[in-house]
Chain A
């Protein structure tokens, strides 16, 4: 579904990704781990289309089409979803409005009509209940004054409503207490399906206790230096990232 080949990217003149390759098939859950500064977030941002990052080499294809050719909104409509590490506060734009606009943008792209207001509300309330979110959040400004945990839940709510084919969650577990972590994990697990791919970008292993990955990759200096199954995450937790760095340079 998502094929990344020899991807190279830079920001503000610094090379961050140095030939990264990753292939994610429908139905799979991949975890990308790595120390700070290894390029995890850059990878997520490049796939979503952030133009601060300049792609200097390689390719990214999604469902067989060249993703790098598309604007961020086109990628979203095709089914890419980025869960932000730092969800943006947008005062004055209400949450329900953004959710609806986002869903309608995807629907229009597929040639479907706009979602019915009642249907939308019913769906949103259901998803919010599952995430332990107060329905009042629908009428608040997007992430406006939300706590860290509320922001992450809101990202998962957007993902649940949009039902993307490929979700990339950037450090969605960071800064969460155990209840929020469980709610977020439940949201991710609910989306698992044979038609979807999920990429979890994370620094710690703890999310993986709740969302079991099929593959774990370790990123160092903009490249995947080690891949394995879920046991790799445990090994990392035990030995620390220095072990990977040593392994990479050995």
Chain B
């Protein structure tokens, strides 16, 4: 694919969404725009290779067949039996400037095909490392044949002090009676920017179970769009965001119930500390004729600091009668009574905070749909909660 002219790229960057758009009201992409503009200005040489040590540390921590995409280039690919990895013929332009930006720059769109029941999870490591301002793109399509099943672990990481912006698109096409499990772990550098879009097409009687964990990044926007166009679909997805000082993490979800019967369930949880802001916007659209739809959404937030801010917004649009829809949103502080109870048993304040925040997150960890990722997720969360608890102490003293 030939790269468009810099002028064309600048023109696309100028069309990045702004806070004037309803869907982007709370998330200002100026920083992504700045990094992209600077990157185009500096005309960097070929991307530096990502640190192999860091990649190895991650791929060793989770038992999966890993595909490593470093700075947007496919480096290693060891698909398990029943899985083939190739390149996409073309990348659809999509419906946004971010999709256009991706399509214009991605070096190789990757196509993963799952045929049959695959027991080894497919690992997808998207890792960036740069010493200069950089932008990376990834585009991955994962197609499940009818009746196929597999787990996919998508891991985003970055290192380096320079400004980085990663823009990724992952698409799931799930065939009839196929079953896809998905875990997304985002543990980017605390000063890096990411926008990600996950698109899911769920086939007849197919299932999609997912869990997302956002730990890093300074400006993060994730969109997950799930399209239920065949009856019998069973969709369940969770998300956990742990944000500290200087982080902005936005999760926008959208489920289109075009036919029934089908179920979708989502639960997002957030733990926020220090000066940070998170957004959860859950949209469920039950289209005309989608009788027998059961849609449930929940979002719970724990704010550990007065400087932390959450914008939580459920959006239900229902155009048919025979439906069951529910939503619930909560925002709360740490339970002081529980904190005292734990301290009165000898746990110090930090340990007690960690115990309570861990308990808040624990339900989502036990539900991680790809068991191979569970231990790694659990220890990443523990590490992050430890950092967040320490920040609280600093704030007090």
Contact = CB atoms under 8 A, between A and B. Distances in A.
Interface of A: 48-51, 71-73, 75-77, 81-82, 84, 87-88, 90-93, 97-98, 101-102, 105-106, 109, 141, 158, 162
Contact of B346 (A87, A90, A102): A102
Given A72-B340, A84-B341, A98-B342, A91 B359 contact: yes
Nearest to A101: B347
B346 A49 contact: no
Nearest to A108: B346
Nearest to B336: A52
Contacts of B345: 76, 98, 101-102, 105, 158, 162
Contacts of A109: 346
A88 B341 CA distance: 7
A192 B342 CA distance: 24
A49 B343 CA distance: 9
A101 B342 CA distance: 10
Given A90-B356, A92-B363, A105 B337 contact: no
Nearest to B346: A105
Contacts of B351: 101, 105
Interface string B338-377: 1011111111110110011011101100000000000000
Contacts of B337: 88
Given A92-B358, A93-B359, A73 B341 contact: no
A243 B193 CA distance: 72
Given A73-B348, A73-B349, A101-B351, A90 B343 contact: no
The 9 A-B residue pairs whose C-beta atoms are closest, nearest first, are: A92-B359, A105-B346, A76-B346, A102-B345, A72-B343, A88-B341, A92-B362, A73-B343, A93-B359
A101 B346 CA distance: 8
A90 B349 contact: no
A87 B344 CA distance: 12
Interface string B276-289: 00000000000000
A87 B358 contact: no
Nearest to A87: B341
A92 B358 CA distance: 8
Contact of B338 (A81, A90, A162): A90
Nearest to B352: A73
A104 to B, nearest CB: 8
A150 to B, nearest CB: 16
Given A71-B349, A92-B360, A101 B355 contact: yes
Contacts of B341: 84, 87-88, 90
Contact of A50 (B340, B342, B355): B340
Contacts of A73: 343-344, 346-349, 352
Range for the number of chain B residues in contact with chain A: 20 to 34
B347 A90 contact: no
A48 B340 CA distance: 9
A106 B346 contact: yes
A93 B352 CA distance: 11
Nearest to B359: A92
Contacts of A82: 344
B343 A76 contact: yes
Q: Which of A71, A75, A105, A141 has the most CB of B within 10 A?
A: A105
Nearest to B357: A92
A98 B352 CA distance: 10
Contacts of B360: 92
A141 B362 CA distance: 12
25 contacts: A49-B343, A51-B340, A71-B348, A71-B349, A72-B344, A73-B348, A73-B352, A76-B343, A76-B345, A76-B346, A82-B344, A84-B341, A88-B335, A88-B341, A90-B341, A90-B355, A90-B356, A90-B359, A91-B359, A92-B362, A98-B342, A101-B355, A102-B345, A105-B345, A158-B345
A100 B68 CA distance: 41
B344 A105 contact: no
Contacts of B348: 71, 73, 105
B359 A77 contact: no
Contacts of B352: 73
B289 to A, nearest CB: 40
Contacts of A106: 346
A206 B215 CA distance: 54
B94 to A, nearest CB: 40
Contacts of B349: 71, 73
Q: Which of B337, B341, B345, B355 has the most CB of A within 10 A?
A: B345
Contacts of B363: 92
Contacts of B355: 90, 93, 97-98, 101
Contacts of A90: 338, 341-342, 355-356, 359
Contacts of B340: 50-51, 72
Q: Which of A72, A98, A162 has the most CB of B within 10 A?
A: A72
Contacts of B356: 90, 93
